[in-house]
């Protein structure tokens, strides 16, 4: 029973952290939108009107002032009201120049970027630790966290890479498949923690991940792959002007499906989970809200744990299928 306590403590914290003790429906809705969108500060909770947040660095570039760096806390006064600083104003998480004739390029470290840095540090540290442990005792049976990492690597290699790419080319793409699987899964899990960032629920992040897969697929496409797109076998020449654009559109469709699927599933799951939890704090009867939202919230939280793995698996699986199509020689 002791092993289960941290899980339930974590779950209760995740229920309470986004909302204040006397949240109105409008405040609950604001907390939900605040969680799923990016920001220039990392907000964890609002308790009795006090904001618990971590200011993040603002990095701006303009032609007249060059590079400017300062804390995002400068955009708020002592009462946490928006205020101008050095000729800039933060409105709706976008930095605007007070002077309408000036323009500025925002290169700031936002919440999602900071969360990605954190996940990358955790991911690289864990893999380097596993690598060093394996080098010290290559024949020792894996135990503990090392066994978990070994299981993940074996799963990606034997269940995704080899069946969809083939033994001949799987080793070449295995590092990429392992990277995107671990990156997506880790960020999905971190997003469920109290105050966690919605990294994989950001369309810009999923766009870059999908672009990586499609670009790697395009640049590794062999003659058979491109021949199938521009000159399919057995197709009459008069159909080529129709089928070639359709095949090219198919590549773009793969890109959009990878991008939108991950973004939509993660974002929708966060909104539903936080909406159910918000019932406790927005209903007039806290008791009724508690008994309504906690069972549903528990179910959604457990479902989100499953979805966190499934979305990482589906993205990696589809990437492996597309890469397999690019290097397939068409002999079978």
| Residue 62: strand pairing partners | 66
Q: What is the structure's pLDDT at 322?
A: 93
Tokens encoding 228: 């199938």
Higher local confidence (pLDDT), 185 or 91? 185
Q: What is the structure's pLDDT at 57?
A: 92
Nearest to 323 by CA among 258, 235, 233: 258
Q: How confident is the model at residue 216 (pLDDT cuts 50, 70, 90)?
A: very high
Q: What is the structure's pLDDT at 63?
A: 84
The full set of domain ranges for the chain reads: 57-108, 111-327
Residue 292 CA from chain centroid, whole number: 29
* Residue 18 scores a pLDDT above 70: no
Tokens encoding 20: 């204040």
In angstroms, the Cα distances linking 113 to 42, 51, 151, 287 are 11, 21, 29, 38
Beta strand segments in 105-153, E: 105-106
Q: 226-237 pLDDT, tens per residue? A: 888 887 777 777
Phi and psi torsions of 274, nearest 5°: -70, -30
Q: 265-321 pLDDT, tens per residue? A: 888 887 777 777 766 666 655 565 566 666 777 777 788 888 899 999 999 999 999
Cα–Cα distance, 47 to 281 (Å, whole number):
12
> Would you put residue 285 in left (φ > 0), alpha (ψ -120 to 50) or beta?
beta
Q: What is the structure's pLDDT at 9?
A: 52
* Residue 22 scores a pLDDT above 50: no
Q: What is the structure's pLDDT at 126?
A: 87
Q: What is the structure's pLDDT at 78?
A: 79
CB atoms within 10 A of CB 191: 23
Q: What is the structure's pLDDT at 286?
A: 57
Q: What is the CA radius of gyration of the chain?
A: 24
Counting residues of the chain whose pLDDT is more than 70, the rounded percentage is 82
In angstroms, the Cα distances linking 121 to 118, 127, 129, 146, 295 are 5, 10, 12, 17, 35
Mean pLDDT over each residue of the chain, to the nearest integer: 81
Q: What is the structure's pLDDT at 256?
A: 92
Q: 186-215 pLDDT, tens per residue? A: 999 988 887 788 899 889 999 999 999 999
| DSSP one-letter string for 48-110 | TTEEEEEE-EEEEEETTTEEEEEEGGGGB-TTS-B--BTTEEEETTEEEESSTT---EE----
Counting residues of the chain whose pLDDT is more than 90, the rounded percentage is 30
Region 92-107: mean pLDDT is 86
């Amino acid at each position: 029973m002791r092993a289960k306590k941290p899980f339930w403590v974590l779950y209760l914290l995740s229920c309470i952290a986004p909302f204040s003790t006397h949240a109105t429906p409008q405040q609950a809705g604001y907390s939900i939108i605040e969680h799923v969108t990016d920001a220039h500060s990392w907000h964890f909770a609002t308790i009795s009107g006090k904001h618990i947040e971590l200011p993040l660095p603002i990095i701006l570039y303009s032609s007249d002032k060059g590079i400017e760096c300062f804390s995002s806390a400068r955009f708020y006064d002592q009462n946490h009201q928006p205020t101008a600083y050095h000729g800039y104003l933060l409105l709706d998480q976008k930095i605007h120049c007070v002077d309408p004739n000036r323009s500025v390029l925002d290169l700031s470290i936002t919440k999602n970027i900071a969360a990605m840095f954190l996940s990358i540090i955790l991911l690289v540290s864990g893999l380097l630790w596993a690598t060093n442990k394996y080098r010290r005792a290559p024949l020792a049976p894996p135990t503990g966290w090392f066994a978990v990492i070994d299981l993940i690597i074996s799963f990606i290699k034997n269940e995704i890479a080899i069946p969809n790419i083939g033994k001949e080319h799987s080793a070449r793409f295995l590092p990429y498949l392992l990277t995107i699987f671990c990156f997506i899964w880790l960020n999905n899990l971190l997003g469920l923690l109290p105050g966690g960032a919605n990294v994989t629920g950001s369309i810009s992040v999923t766009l870059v991940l999908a672009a990586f897969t499609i670009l790697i697929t395009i640049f590794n496409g062999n003659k058979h792959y491109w021949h199938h797109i521009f000159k399919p076998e057995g197709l009459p020449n008069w159909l080529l002007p129709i089928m070639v654009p359709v095949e090219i559109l198919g590549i773009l469709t793969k890109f959009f499906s990878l991008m939108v699927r991950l973004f939509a599933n993660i974002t929708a799951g966060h909104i539903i989970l936080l909406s159910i939890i918000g019932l406790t704090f927005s209903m007039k009867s806290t008791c009724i809200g508690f008994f309504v939202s906690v069972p549903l919230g528990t179910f959604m939280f457990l479902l989100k744990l499953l979805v966190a793995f499934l979305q990482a698996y589906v993205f990696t699986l589809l990437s492996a299928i597309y890469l397999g199509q690019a290097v397939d020689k068409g002999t079978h």
